[in-house]
Structure 1
């Protein structure tokens, strides 16, 4: 994990990025329902608010906020990975996935996160998240990408989480 030397702060918003090891994979969009389930499971176990998220074929970006009094953002991400990995069709039973729970074979170990400093920083990162499919040439307009929380802001369906 790469961090900006800030620990998770309770009640703070964070930008995060996670990538699959296979950068040619389309797994995240092909299995968007499984990813949605993984986020819901993690939110039920340890509540947090997803301010913004975009799921691209091989990576995702998001902004989330932890509740006051809670600093355990990293554990949430590990749980999301674990649930996603276990729920994929054709995956081995839980006990056989890996003995090293920190190492996930699908995910690049370079999970990035950093705390956002103020409301302007949060809005700038939300805009970055929503524009990411345009940046990667997947769509011309951010609202065209179906795997984005931009649809929540527009009042339409399609949010991945």
Structure 2
């Protein structure tokens, strides 16, 4: 499922999941602003559309679309990790950072992703992303979770919040 097993398709939408190594960590929600910054930096360097995202305490799920002619999805994720790691106060301890800059001690070495086949598949995965905090018992209603793009849909009147 890792991105180096098969190429990314330019212009395609992808579902992805990324997990911290520490399953008991709350680092992602405690530093959600840092993660948002990392996404903005990556989007400025290599534009892409975030269709949906949810940040949970120890992992995140998202749906994003690459521009036509661009298959650099994996590089985007590596950049997001690198910016997050560098901006995080006191994490990771510099002694833990390996010479291989692609290996990030906070994160599992690979993230899961797969290409979405059509508009219905995109909508199903967006719903999965937004419902994930409910699935994990963090809230009763998806709209209650503050670290979710569902609030963009609510503002547009596209989701019942």
TM-score for the superposition, normalised by structure 1:
0.91
Stretches of structure 2 lacking an aligned partner (at least 5 in a row): 157-161
Q: Hey, what does 2:21 align to over in structure 1? A: 21
Stretches of structure 1 lacking an aligned partner (at least 5 in a row): 157-161
CA distance in 1, matches of 2:93, 2:45: 21
Q: Hey, what does 2:102 align to over in structure 1? A: 102
Q: What displacement does 1:102 show?
A: 1.7
| Residues 6 and 115 in structure 1, CA contact (< 8 A), matched pair in contact too | no
TM-score for the superposition, normalised by structure 2:
0.91
| Residues 130 and 148 in structure 2, CA contact (< 8 A), matched pair in contact too | yes
Aligned positions of 1:1-161 closer than 5 A: 2=2, 6-91=6-91, 97-155=97-155
SS at the partner of 1:108? coil
Cα 1:3/1:92, change in 2 over 3 Å? closer
SS at the partner of 2:99? coil
CA distance in 2, matches of 1:3, 1:88: 25
RMSD: 2.1
Runs of at least 4 residues of structure 1 off by over 6 A? 92-96
Cα 1:10/1:74, change in 2 over 3 Å? same
CA distance in 2, matches of 1:119, 1:59: 25
